[in-house]
Structure 1
Amino acid sequence: MVTLKHLIVMDNDEDHVPLLTEAGILESPTTQHCRAESRDFFISRRNNYILSIFLLLGCYSAILVPAYLPTPEPIWTNESSAENQALLNFSASLLAQTCQVGWSVEQVRTLTTPAGLLEIPVFLENATDDWALPPPLGLQGSEEVAAEVLKALPYTDIPTGPESCRRCVVVGSGGILRGKNLGPHIDQYNIIIRVNNAPVFGFESDAGSRTTIRLIYPEGAPSNMQEYERTDLVALVVFKTLDLAWLTSAVTKEPLSWWSKLWFWKDVVDSIPLQPENVRILNPEIMYRTGQVLQTYAEQQRKMVPTLGITAMVLALQLCDEVSIAGFGYDLQHPGAPLHYYGSLRMDAMMSQVVHDVSAETILLRELAKAGAVRDLTGAL
């Protein structure tokens, strides 16, 4: 064993492990204090694991939980009570007047471009015409399927009504309709046209309580069967060949295959509670001619697919002597304004879509309203 100053080291030939026997003695009080602080500062591996779990759960909760909490809907007011009363007075005055035969058509004929929206067959009667475009602007590639559907539909004529003079109102889904209390006035029109799943039940005070024609595509058909109770006709707007297959299924009550259902962009109803004589197919020429007219108002030239709202208005021009509209007009200057008179969608949802040119449609509607061809009951144009 070799002894150095304050250090004892065992020789290799001795059966002992070398030890620094005085290491603990040589540590200064300062060093010992630092080691004690280190032990107090660093927690154990178990405690560190538990703390990490709590921190992780806290972060996830802060991010995800608010998304599932109910948030109060913003209250949006765009009209004063005096302005609403003025709209009611205007609507009442229109209904009090004697219906003028051919009024709307005569006013449209005074306009150069919109005149192309007249004299269009309303409902599809046969699928043998020379369709140059695929749906929704034609039936190219869908003629055989359309012919099969027409075999299941006994009638293709227009709805019955007063032959002397017809008044139509096209009820749009716009949020501008909310709170206007036009429902009792709307119910007084001979023909009331609605689109897709815009509800009646629960909204009678603003939207009225009955429907003459409801334009739909499968994904937009009402899932609430009550919506069909006071409906005279449902008219399919064909956007794809599969829509015709869906209509055949809905009329004949023969279910679609699960494979076919996969190609709809949302769930569709299996049937509609109406008889075949209460079902029609909109003539695609209405969509095509409307798109052609809208081209002249668009900033960019492209294939124009009209909204069902403007399509319903063009349909009304074929059926009625006087045409009024309610619930039309997009307030794109206020993204927080309600998009529909029902639901919680806001105007920014329409601003982000790229399928329709709502600006071109607004210009057309304003031109028709200015000429008196249509009467705007909600005053948004």
Structure 2
Amino acid sequence: MVTLKHLSVKDNDEDSVPLLPEASSSESPTTQHHRAESREFFLSRRNNFILSIVLLLSCYSALLVPAYLPTPEPIWTNDSSAETLALQNQSAALLSQSCRSGWSVERVMTLPTPTGLLKIPVFLENGTQDWALPPPLGLQGSEEIVAQALKALPYTGVPTGPETCRRCVVVGSGGILRGKNLGPHIDQYNIIIRVNDAPVFGFERDAGSRTTIRLIYPEGAPSLLQEYENTEVVALVVFKSLDIAWLTSAVTKVPLSWWSKLWFWREVIDTIPLQPENVRILNPEIMYRTGQVLQTYAEKQRKMVPTLGITAVVLALQVCDEVSIAGFGYDLQHPGAMLHYYGSLRMDAMRAQVVHDVSAETILLRELVKAGAVQDLTGAL
């Protein structure tokens, strides 16, 4: 130990003795290297954090920004102009002939299976029998609310038309309809049947401009007022009891509770811009018997819920002498083809749905077309 006037400093070879401040500059190169590495580590971690945030924001932008950009309208280029012209000539020739009374029903009677699709009351009336099945194939558990709805509907009959012979066309939503220029032909039919929110406004050239009967359910009802113009009847297809309550609300203008609205899978309109006399409820027996017939064409036996398209065809067989269809036929072999004549959905979207058996429906429609009971104006079947 060396003692200098009030200052004691131990020799450097003694343990656990702190160095004077001036001694910090005498750190070994190894210690300095470790300190530099430590600083680089923390700087690197900060840089990595910033880079991660930038990458995360970039991923969100790549996913979200395109959803807000305008989507180019797909162009239907499946048919040549020669094929389109041939379809127009075929349609014109059909309309130039005299209407054949009872023709479609007679042709259905020649087939063994589809005869179960005939002689079905079209719309519900007061006193309709109770069905042993729940909606959409029956009215089990909904009898009271159906009775209330029918009190708000003054008419339950079929729309007016020629009493001697009626020509009907069911306009499907298929992309095959786009570019066929069949709108003026469709408008010449006595009864024009459409489904859900398939638009007329802006698509008159291909789809026509008039609507006699539009089959809807709440989530599929058109939201644009223009789509109800030139419409004679809107008919509800009941998929659940709440659908009937919605119809009563839409007709009477008494709003549904917020709690009831929560049970729809998408937003629904509050009112139907038509008078009560222009509203009907489809008889669920049409859905039930259509499903029964479809069972014979299905690969797997299960409860069949028909699409509104095939339901509309069966409806037409009840009220029409001649039945034509346009915009039917799913081209599942070409997943990039347009699913609808409007919008941007592609055919592969049909593969994701599990509710309907479109393959069985296609077989049934082809059988009806082959028998001459139904005329296919767009040639996809």
TM-score normalised by L of structure 1? 0.90
Contact 2:298–2:359 (CA<8 Å) still a contact in 1?
yes
Amino acid at match of 1:312: A
Quick one: structure 1 residues 75 and 187, their matched pair in 2 at CA, closer, same or farther if it must change by over 3 Å? closer
Amino acid at match of 2:49: S
Q: Deviations over 1:234-279 (max 9, x none)?
A: 0011111111111111111111111111111111110001111111
Q: Does 2:58 correspond to 1:61?
A: yes
Contact map agreement 1:10 1:17 (CA 8 A) in 2? no
How far apart are 1:54 and its partner, in Å?
Answer: 3.7
Deviation at 1:63, TM superposition (A): 4.8
Q: Cα offset for 1:226?
A: 1.0
Partner in structure 2 of residue 108 of structure 1: 108
Q: In the aligned structure 2, how far is the partner of 1:120 from the partner of 1:55?
A: 65
Q: Is the 8 A contact 1:170 1:326 kept in 2?
A: yes
Structure 1 residue identity aligned to 2:18: V
**Structure 1 match to 2:308:** 308
Aligned pairs for 1:1-381 (under 5 A) are 1=1, 9=12, 11=14, 17=18, 35=33, 39=36, 43=40, 45=42, 48-49=45-46, 52-69=49-66, 70=69, 72=72, 75-381=75-381
Measure, in 1, the Cα distance between the counterparts of 2:27 and 2:179: 88
Q: Secondary structure at the match of 2:125?
A: coil
Q: For 1:227 and 1:75, how far apart are their aligned partners in 2?
A: 23
Change (3 A) 1:19 1:156: same
Checking the alignment, whether the CA contact within 8 Å between 1:235 and 1:280 is kept in structure 2 is: yes
Q: Distance in 2 between matches of 1:184 and 1:348?
A: 31
Aligned partner of 1:5 in structure 2 is: none
Letter aligned with residue 259 of structure 1: W
**Alpha carbons of structure 1 residues 134 and 27: separation in structure 2 relative to 1, 3 Å:** closer
Residues 10 and 16 of structure 1 are in contact (CA less than 8 Å); yes or no, is this contact kept in structure 2?
no
Amino acid in structure 2 at the alignment position of 1:61: S
Q: Distance in 2 between matches of 1:11 and 1:54?
A: 49
CA distance in 1, matches of 2:59, 2:248: 49
Say if 1:41 and 1:89 are closer, same or farther in 2 by CA, change over 3 A. Answer: farther
* Residue 44 of structure 1, CA deviation: 7.4
- Counterparts of 2:21 and 2:373, CA distance in 1: 107
What is the SS of the residue equivalent to 1:233?
Answer: strand
Deviations along 1:86-109, one digit per CA (max 9) or x if unpaired, are 111111111111111111111000
| Cross-structure match for 2:8 | none
TM-score (norm 2): 0.90
Tell which deviates more after alignment, 127-136 or 276-285: 127-136
* Whole-Å separation in 2 of the counterparts to 1:155 and 1:74: 42
75-84 or 193-202, which deviates more: 75-84
Q: CA deviation at 1:72?
A: 4.3
For residues 118 and 27 of structure 1, what CA distance do their matches in structure 2 show?
A: 101
| Total equivalences in the alignment | 371
> 2:366 & 2:128 partners in 1: Cα distance?
36
Tell me the distance in 2 between the aligned counterparts of 1:60 and 1:75: 34
1:68 positional shift: 2.2
Q: What SS does the corresponding residue of 2:233 show, helix, strand or coil?
A: strand
Going from structure 1 to structure 2, the CA distance change for 1:16 and 1:309 (only over 3 Å counts) comes to closer
- Deviation digits for residues 195-228 of structure 1 (CA, Å, limit 9, x no counterpart): 0110000111111011000000111111101111
Gaps of 5+ in 2: 3-10
CA shift digits 1:8-37 (9 cap, x unpaired)? 52657xx96357999977968xx69x949x
What is the one-letter code of the residue matched to 2:290?
Answer: T
Q: Deviations 1:349-378 (Å, cap 9, x if unpaired)?
A: 111111000000000000000011000011
Structure 1 residues 62 and 373: CA distance shift in structure 2, 3 A: same
